[in-house]
Structure 1
């Protein structure tokens, strides 16, 4: 007998449902992280926001709470080992567990490869690589206690492809890809899945990315993207939800490109 609509809906909810899951997202006071937090929350997840920017963090928390989302904000600078530890401890202390960790806080400085100064190198590496490891490390420790969880890294096409002006950023994202693969292998038989989403060009909060701008930077982005446009923030919801859900129960160590065909061209 064919499935009824009711049965199909139940199966869909079993596969992709994240209702009640505890989701912590670093770098979630604005941009992609904030949009992901809103999406997870609207689908029934309990959300922990994190950022080093107190004002932005308070604004994001108020916005999500106003939508009826169960949310908590924890200030954390991911460059700090202790801050990352307290982020996870605070999450577990409030909700009793952590089901999904989205390592998303990041930064970049666009300039020629030969002109980076030591403080610039340190800022990018400490945020994009050290911070990802710390958040993944402490969330994995908490997940191992419950024998299950999903860690999702925000990588980039720059982690696999040469992108002029992003030497240090690209190096960190290549490191994130290897962090993803190696941790996935280590935890594969212990119930923890580790994957990454690699965006291309996004309609994000950064200067110079408005789709109607006609600048050399914008034209280059369009030339490199076969779909000839930037991805909208909402187009990243599906990949992250998938990797967080039971639908991805046999998926680990993967780098999922969400880039309008950039990496394939």
Structure 2
């Protein structure tokens, strides 16, 4: 049943279903840890069927066992999103396991923080291939499956750096700006085919990438908090609502949007 059908003529008993994801098949790239794993847990606890994915097989296996131990219907598929074939196999494996894919969360990401003039070519390639090429591949193959089944929702993890200048994030920011344009362009192209494409753009979040241990009392970090009107970092749990909303029938008339979840950073 399409989101549009489910939101028309809502009765009293339908309001809980409006924001529901029970029974939906949700595939999340980059979900062996951090934000992706937290989102997988939230979707799963709300009744969704979860496909975890990561290039790190050890982390992936541990995450699958953890979610399964909570009673979540979960399977794990290893995929390096920089690989066209891996992304194709990820979506194919999702459909083989659960019969369909309702929600694709493109979330796998990498960053290398350094001055703009000092990036080496392999660093550029690694960031852009993961954050932009990988998002395109996952969205492309998810859309192919969704077109066959009559629709679905694709959610990209963007960043406040996609539209604001933040020192040290040159290549990351360029990749996330590209993610925003993927979101808008795919949304327009697939809007009349039942596929919605939106993005969530986090600001500063209590979720540091592997190997990144910033000094939170440094002048840079203090300045970042000064530029965030709420004067703090976002907690992982504060991102559940935006992703669940965009995946649910409640967002059935929303596509092509970049939802900033940043404590007011982009508005200041």
* TM score, norm. by length of structure 1: 0.94
Two-structure CA RMSD over aligned residues (Å): 1.1
Measured in 2, the distance between the counterparts of 1:78 and 1:100 equals: 17
Q: CA deviation at 1:94?
A: 0.3
Shift of 1:221: 2.2
Given candidates 95, 119, 123, the residue that maps to 1:120 is 123
Counterpart check, 1:208 vs 2:213 = yes
Question: Is 2:44 aligned against 1:46?
Answer: no
User: What does 1:251-262 align with in structure 2 at a 5 Å threshold?
Assistant: 251-262=254-265
- 1:102-157 alpha-carbon deviations (Å, 9 max, x no partner): 00000010011111000000000000000000000000000000111000000001
For these two proteins, the number of residue pairs brought into alignment is 256
Structure 1 partner of 2:4: none
Partner in structure 1 of residue 96 of structure 2:
93
SS at 1:77 equivalent: coil
In the alignment, which residue of structure 2 is the partner of 1:140?
143
**Structure 1 alignment gaps of length 5 or more:** 1-6
Residue 209 of structure 1, CA deviation: 5.5
Q: Partner residue of 2:161?
A: 158
2:62: which partner in 1? 59
Q: Which runs of 5+ in 2 are unaligned?
A: 1-10
Q: Deviations over 1:195-223 (max 9, x none)?
A: 0000000001443358xx42234312211
Question: Using CA pairs below 8 Å that are at least 6 residues apart, which structure has the higher relative contact order?
Answer: 2
Distance 2:202 2:247 in 1: 17
Equivalent position SS for 2:231: coil
Answer whether contact 1:208 1:217 (CA < 8 A) is retained. Answer: no
Q: Runs (4+) of structure 1 moved beyond 4 Å?
A: none
- 3-state SS, counterpart of residue 229 of structure 1: coil
**Contact kept in structure 2, 1:208 and 1:218, CA below 8 Å:** no
